[in-house]
Structure 1
Amino acid sequence: MTESNTMDNTFSDHVAAELPYLRRYARALTGSQGRGDKYAVATLDVILRDRSTVEEAPTIKEGLFRCFHAIWVTSGRQLSIEDEVDGLARKAQDHLAALTTNAREVLLLKTIEGFTREEIGRIIEADDTEVTQLLDIAIAEIAASSSGAVMIIEDEPIIAADLEDIVTDLGHRVTGVARTRTEAVALGKADKPSLILADIQLADNSSGIDAVNDLLEGLDVPVVFITAFPERLLTGDRPEPAFLISKPFKVDQVRSAVSQALFFSTTETLHNS
C-alpha cells in the first residue's frame, strides 16, 4: 500500500469515527432523521470533492462540523424533502425559521456536542462575544416557546431524581417515573405525556426502546434517550432518535435536549428492524 493510500485511509477512518455525532447533531437541528441524514450525506459529498476544510481544521470533528454548517447556511437551513410533508415536520420547520439565526446551532454545538466557545466560533465563523450572545438568546427563545408534561423512564433512583429536578426547573410537569417497560406503558396510559425522557436499559432487564415503541403506538410525542450505551442507537441501520444524550450527562445537555424536543413537538420512532 502506498503512503498516499495509507493517508487516505487514515483520513477516512477519522471522518467515519465522527460521522455518528454529525448525524446526531443534524437530526437534533432539523428534528428529523431523514432530513438530518440528507445534510450529512451532502457534507460527505463536499468532502469527497475537496477535503481541505476538514484537513486544515484543528481536529477532524471540528472541520467536519464546519463543512456541515457551511452547507446548512447556504441551503437556507432547509432541504426540500418530498416525503416529509406531514403537519409535524412542517410545524418544526416553521418553528425553526422563527428563531434567531445561529442560536439553536450554537446551543446544540455547545450542550450536546461539547464544543468550546472558541471551536463554535470557528465552526460558524463568529467571535466569542457573538457566540455567548447566541447561547443566551437560544436558551431564552426555546424556554419561552415550549412547556409540557414529561414522563421519565429510568431505573436508577438518583438519576431519576436528578432528571425530575432538571425538568421541573425548566417549568415542565413530571407525570411520573417508570422503572420497567410494564410500568412505563401503564404510566403513559394513566397520564399522557407531551415528552418521554428514557433510558434504554431498565431495572428488570427490559428495554427502554421497547417501552417507548409501545407508548408511541398510541402517542405522537418527542423522545429524548439518555443512555450509557449510545452505540446501540447510533448504528444507522434503523430509525434513530433525534435526541440522544450519553451518560454520564451534564445538566445543560438535558436542559437543551428537553427544550429542543418539546420545541419541535416531533419524534423519530425506534422500530426494531
Structure 2
Amino acid sequence: MSTAELVAPQLPYLRRYARALTGSQAAGDAYVAATLEALINDPSPLSEAASPRLALFRVFTVIWNSLAVNERRETIERDLPAEARLGEITPLPRQAFLLSSLEGFAEEEVADILGRDVTAVRALVDDAGRELAADIATQIMIIEDEPLIAMDLESLVESLGHQVTGIARTRGEAVALADEKRPGLILADIQLADGSSGLDAVNDLLETFQVPVIFITAYPERFLTGERPEPAFLIAKPFQPANVSAVISQALFFQQTSHRRAAAAGS
C-alpha cells in the first residue's frame, strides 16, 4: 500500500489528538502537516511497521518533542497555587494521558509511541489526570437528549469533582438553562430530541459568553474533514468514561492557560 493509503484512515484521529494536545485546530494541524511532510520524505517508518497507526503517532511524537517550544521541566512543584500548578503540568504527561484515554492506545502502545517503559507511562497518566482534575473543577452543562447517556455523563462529571448545572434535551432548553446558571464548560450532543442541533444551541450560548465546548457524536469523521472550522474537542459515541475525563481535563486546562496568558498580556 502507498503512504497515502496507510495514513488516510488514521488521519482524522491524529488531527483530533493534535488539537487536543495543542488546544487549537490551527496549531494541531500544523504539527500534523509536519508529520506528513516527514513521511513523504521518508516513508520507511510506515512501510516497515506492523501497525501504521502506531507508526504515524510515533513520528508525530518525535516531531512534537523535538521542538524547543515543547521542552519542559521534569518535575512539578506540589506547593504552587492551583492555577500555577496547571501551567506546570508538562506536555509529556498530557501526551500519555491523551494517548491512553482519548485515543485508546494500550499501555504498551503508549510506551512505544513515547519511548518510555510501561511503568513510566502509568505514572505519567496518573499524574496528569490527578493534577488536572483536582485543579480545574467547574460547573458543567450537559446537552443530551438520550436519558441514559445524560445520566451516565452526569455521574461521570460529578465523579471528577465537577458540578452539573442541568441537562438540556433541546436547543431551547439549553438557552433557558444557561440563563439560569452559566456553566464553566458545555458537553453537547449534536443531534437533539426535537430535531434541533447541539451545534446551533452552542452557537446561541457562545454569543453571550465564552466557555470550552466538547461535542459528542456518533459520527466524528463528519467533523474532522479539514474543510471548515472544527470542534477543538470531540468525543465519539459510544464513549468510554476515560475519554470524557481526558477531554474535559484538557479543555479546562487550555482555558485556564489562555486566561493566564491574557491576564499577563494586559498587565
Q: TM-score, normalised by structure 1?
A: 0.85
Aligned equivalents of 2:190 and 2:255: distance in 1? 21
Instruction: Tell me which residue corresponds to 1:26.
Output: 18
Of 153, 160, 163 in structure 2, the residue corresponding to residue 173 of structure 1 is: 163
Instruction: Tell me which residue corresponds to 1:45.
Output: 37
Instruction: Tell me which residue corresponds to 1:182.
Output: 172
* Conservation of the 8 A alpha-carbon contact between 1:95 and 1:264: no
* 1:208-227 equivalence runs, <5 A: 208-227=198-217
* 1:6-17 equivalence runs, <5 A: 7-8=1-2, 11-17=3-9
* 1:185-204 equivalence runs, <5 A: 185-204=175-194
Instruction: Tell me which residue corresponds to 2:242.
Output: 252
* 1:262-273 equivalence runs, <5 A: 262-265=252-255
Query: 1:238 deviation in Å?
Result: 1.1
Greater CA deviation, 229-238 or 197-206? 229-238
Aligned equivalents of 1:185 and 1:150: distance in 2? 14
Q: Cα–Cα, structure 1 residues 95 and 234, in superposed 2: closer, same or farther, change >3 Å?
A: farther
Instruction: Tell me which residue corresponds to 2:140.
Output: 150
Task: Say which SS state the counterpart of residue 215 (structure 2) adopts.
Answer: strand
* Conservation of the 8 A alpha-carbon contact between 2:145 and 2:169: yes
Q: Does 1:128 align with 2:114?
A: no
Cα RMSD of the aligned pairs, angstroms, is 1.9
* Conservation of the 8 A alpha-carbon contact between 1:149 and 1:172: yes
Task: Say which SS state the counterpart of residue 17 (structure 1) adopts.
Answer: coil
Give the partner amino acid of 1:123: I
Aligned equivalents of 1:260 and 1:214: distance in 2? 23
Q: Cα–Cα, structure 1 residues 95 and 185, in superposed 2: closer, same or farther, change >3 Å?
A: farther
Residue segments in structure 2 that go unaligned for 5+ positions in a row? 72-83, 257-267
Aligned equivalents of 1:243 and 1:207: distance in 2? 17
Give the partner amino acid of 1:46: A
Residue segments in structure 1 that go unaligned for 5+ positions in a row? 1-6, 80-93, 267-273
Instruction: Tell me which residue corresponds to 1:110.
Output: 100
Task: Say which SS state the counterpart of residue 171 (structure 1) adopts.
Answer: coil
Query: 1:77 deviation in Å?
Result: 5.1
Instruction: Tell me which residue corresponds to 2:28.
Output: 36
Query: 1:250 deviation in Å?
Result: 0.9
Aligned equivalents of 1:97 and 1:122: distance in 2? 26
* Conservation of the 8 A alpha-carbon contact between 1:65 and 1:123: yes
* Conservation of the 8 A alpha-carbon contact between 1:233 and 1:241: yes
Task: Say which SS state the counterpart of residue 192 (structure 2) adopts.
Answer: coil
Instruction: Tell me which residue corresponds to 2:265.
Output: none
Aligned equivalents of 2:210 and 2:144: distance in 1? 20
Aligned equivalents of 2:129 and 2:90: distance in 1? 11
* 1:62-101 equivalence runs, <5 A: 62-76=54-68, 78=70, 98-101=88-91
Give the partner amino acid of 1:219: F
Give the partner amino acid of 2:21: L
* Conservation of the 8 A alpha-carbon contact between 2:134 and 2:161: no
Q: Cα–Cα, structure 1 residues 167 and 228, in superposed 2: closer, same or farther, change >3 Å?
A: same
Q: TM-score, normalised by structure 2?
A: 0.87
Query: 1:50 deviation in Å?
Result: 0.6
* Conservation of the 8 A alpha-carbon contact between 1:55 and 1:63: no
Query: 1:73 deviation in Å?
Result: 0.3
Query: 1:251 deviation in Å?
Result: 1.0
Aligned equivalents of 1:18 and 1:60: distance in 2? 8
Of 135, 160, 164 in structure 1, the residue corresponding to residue 154 of structure 2 is: 164
Q: Cα–Cα, structure 1 residues 101 and 203, in superposed 2: closer, same or farther, change >3 Å?
A: closer
* Conservation of the 8 A alpha-carbon contact between 2:6 and 2:46: no
* Conservation of the 8 A alpha-carbon contact between 2:12 and 2:224: yes
